[in-house]
């Protein structure tokens, strides 16, 4: 119980109690913890105190808030190689994690009019977007742009449930030779936040990925929006050549 005589703030005491409950297994990974009103009633404290305690748990990645659903204990973090040349979906599978890939936008040819960092800016490119879910939860939103000449005809290939890297290799006989990535943390617009099931004021990891091929540099450009609640996204440093 809380000690009102202690110099330790009540919200810190509550956070410590909940942390111990999580680590002891009273609240299992993926389970919902008591709501704010329930904690207010159980401990006889105000909602601001409860919110401060929950903020600590969120920062420590012990719990995650789901919009309209409550607060849940985070699954044990697993590390996913964000720069796997075999593709991000393959990186999940390599860890034994089943991932459901939903094609949000089928491949189409368009003019790129936004984002000057996009190597196809003010030009044409093939575009598709897809959402990766793990245990039903959105983990990774991918927006992918492909060279309009090198990948001619890709808009006629059904990519639903297929690895893009395998399609590139088997249909276009190309392998990535390297690339680079840039990282930043940003909040999403309303449309992407709804897709990722996060609030617009919750920052996510945003990665710009540039893949180089023998035929052309920056032949594939991707923007990745990563939910880091349950996974650590990593990048190995080293030679990316296939030789």
What is the reported pLDDT for 241? 46
Residue 82 confidence (pLDDT): 56
Q: Against a cut of 0.85, is the pTM above it?
A: no
Please give the CATH superfamily to which domain 78-234 belongs.
Answer: Chorismate lyase-like (3.40.1410.10)
Pairing of strands 70-73, 78-81: unpaired
Give buried/exposed letters for 221-243 (b at 16+ CB in 10 A, else e). bbbbbbbbbbbebeeeeeeeeee
Residues contacting residue 104 through CB under 8 Å, at least 6 positions apart: 129, 130, 131, 195
Write down the pLDDT at residue 198.
Answer: 87
- At 243 the pLDDT is 45
Q: What torsion do the CA atoms of 94, 131, 138, 90 make, to the nearest 10 degrees?
A: 0
Q: Buried b vs exposed e over 39-58: b needs ≥16 C-beta within 10 Å? A: bbeebebeeebbebbbebbb
Sequence-distant (6+) residues with CB within 8 A of 56 are 11, 12, 15
From residue 211, how far is each of 145, 174, 199 by CA, in Å?
11, 12, 30
Q: What do you get for the CA distance between the two ends of the chain, in Å?
A: 61
Q: Give the pLDDT of residue 78.
A: 57
Q: Domain-by-domain residue ranges, the chain?
A: 10-73, 78-234
CATH assignment of 10-73, given 1.10.1030.10, 1.10.10.10, 3.40.190.10, 3.40.50.720? 1.10.10.10
Average pLDDT per consecutive 10 residues, the chain (243 residues; last block may be shorter): 88 92 87 92 93 89 84 71 57 70 94 94 96 86 96 92 86 90 92 92 90 94 85 56 45
- CA dist 236 and 243 (Å) reads 17
pLDDT value at residue 95: 61
State the residue for tokens 């276009």: 172
Determine contact, residues 131/102, Cβ cutoff 8 Å: yes
């Amino acid at each position: 119980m809380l000690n009102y005589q202690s110099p330790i703030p009540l919200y810190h005491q509550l956070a410590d109690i909940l942390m111990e409950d999580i680590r002891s297994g009273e609240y299992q990974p993926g389970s919902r913890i008591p709501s704010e009103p329930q904690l207010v009633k159980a401990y006889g404290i105000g909602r601001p105190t409860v919110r401060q305690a929950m903020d600590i748990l969120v920062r420590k990645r012990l719990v995650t808030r789901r919009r309209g659903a409550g607060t849940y204990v985070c699954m044990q973090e697993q590390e996913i190689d964000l720069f796997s040349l075999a593709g991000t979906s393959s990186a999940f599978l390599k860890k034994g994690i089943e991932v459901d890939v939903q094609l949000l936008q089928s491949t189409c040819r368009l003019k790129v009019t936004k984002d000057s960092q996009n190597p196809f800016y003010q030009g044409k490119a093939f575009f598709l977007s897809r959402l990766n879910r793990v245990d039903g939860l959105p983990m990774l939103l991918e927006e992918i742009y492909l060279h309009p000449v090198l990948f001619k005809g890709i808009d006629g290939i059904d990519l639903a449930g297929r690895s893009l890297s395998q399609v590139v290799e088997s249909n276009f006989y190309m392998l990535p030779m390297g690339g680079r990535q840039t990282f930043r943390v940003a909040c999403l617009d309303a449309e992407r936040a709804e897709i990722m099931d996060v609030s617009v004021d919750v920052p996510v990891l945003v990665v710009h990925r540039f893949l180089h091929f023998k035929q052309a540099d920056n032949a594939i450009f991707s923007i990745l929006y990563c939910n880091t609640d349950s996974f650590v996204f990593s990048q190995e440093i080293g030679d990316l050549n296939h030789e």
